[in-house]
């Protein structure tokens, strides 16, 4: 498997980029991998990088982005922060990835059984975690719990709303990314990774 070049990246549409990720995850759940000589890829990418995607996901140790999409060196920009929340630095990283470095898709990917989302639903307060969880709270407020404590399916609903909220923030707070999407230069999509099956559902 060859690394992305300027030419191969230029020739991809946002739809192609999504299709690469869908197919990569299909290989992953079937325990299939494209053959990659990783040391060769290190050398090939040493002079430059032409990733096709920016994937924004949680820090969770069960969601290693390159593995779950069967991607190699130089394929994806990976921004990760607990609860896949958005802040100015994440937006700056995404803008760099798309506008400067040519990525064709931005994926905001939550996952099932997310500790950060669960903590936000349970109104946990701890050091700097408190301010991070505040960014998930708008999505918590949209779900009416059936009892005092949210159940698992209510928490999963919050995780999906939180992806939608992150995407709304990208579009409203990054004119660069919003304009690129309106021009058809990139797609901005949501996804949820299942820690139970390894599958990714695009929303």
**Residues whose CB falls within 8 Å of the CB of residue 48, separated by 6 or more in sequence, listed in order:** 6
DSSP 153-183: HHHHHHHHHHHHHHHHHHHHH-HHHHHHHHT
Q: Shortest distance, CB of residue 60 to Zn ion, whole angstroms?
A: 4
Q: Is 95 in the site for Zn ion (CB under 5 A)?
A: no
Q: Shortest distance, CB of residue 84 to Zn ion, whole angstroms?
A: 7
Give the Cα separation of 173 and 178 in Å (integer). Answer: 8
Q: Shortest distance, CB of residue 188 to Zn ion, whole angstroms?
A: 20
Give the Cα separation of 38 and 154 in Å (integer). Answer: 41
Q: Is 58 in the site for Zn ion (CB under 5 A)?
A: yes
Q: Shortest distance, CB of residue 194 to Zn ion, whole angstroms?
A: 13
Which of 94, 114, 121, 132 touches Zn ion (CB under 5 A)? Answer: 114
Q: Is 68 in the site for Zn ion (CB under 5 A)?
A: no
Total residues contacting Zn ion by CB under 5 A comes to 4
Instruction: Determine contact, residues 50/74, Cβ cutoff 8 Å.
Output: yes
Query: Smaller CB distance to Zn ion: residue 36 or 198?
Result: 198
Query: Smaller CB distance to Zn ion: residue 136 or 180?
Result: 136
How far is CA 94 from its chain centroid? 11
Query: Smaller CB distance to Zn ion: residue 60 or 75?
Result: 60
Give the Cα separation of 115 and 22 in Å (integer). Answer: 25
Q: Is 136 in the site for Zn ion (CB under 5 A)?
A: no
Q: Which residues bind Zn ion (CB under 5 A)?
A: 58, 60, 114, 116
């Amino acid at each position: 498997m060859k690394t992305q070049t300027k030419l191969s990246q230029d020739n991809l549409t946002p739809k192609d980029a999504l299709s690469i990720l869908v197919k990569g995850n299909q290989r992953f759940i079937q325990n299939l991998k494209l053959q990659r000589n990783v040391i060769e890829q290190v050398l090939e990418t040493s002079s430059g990088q032409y990733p096709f995607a920016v994937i924004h996901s949680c820090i969770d140790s069960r969601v290693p982005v390159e593995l779950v999409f069967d991607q190699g060196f130089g394929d994806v920009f990976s921004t990760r922060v607990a609860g896949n929340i958005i802040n100015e630095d994440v937006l700056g990283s995404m803008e760099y990835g798309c506008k400067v470095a040519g990525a064709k898709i931005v994926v905001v990917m939550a996952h099932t059984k997310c500790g950060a989302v669960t903590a936000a639903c349970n109104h946990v307060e701890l050091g700097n975690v408190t301010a991070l969880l505040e960014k998930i709270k708008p999505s918590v407020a949209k779900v009416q719990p059936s009892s005092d404590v949210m159940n698992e399916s209510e928490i999963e609903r919050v995780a999906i709303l939180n992806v939608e909220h992150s995407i709304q923030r990208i579009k409203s707070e990054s004119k660069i990314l919003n304009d690129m999407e309106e021009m058809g230069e990139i797609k901005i999509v949501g996804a949820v990774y299942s820690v139970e099956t390894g599958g990714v559902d695009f929303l």
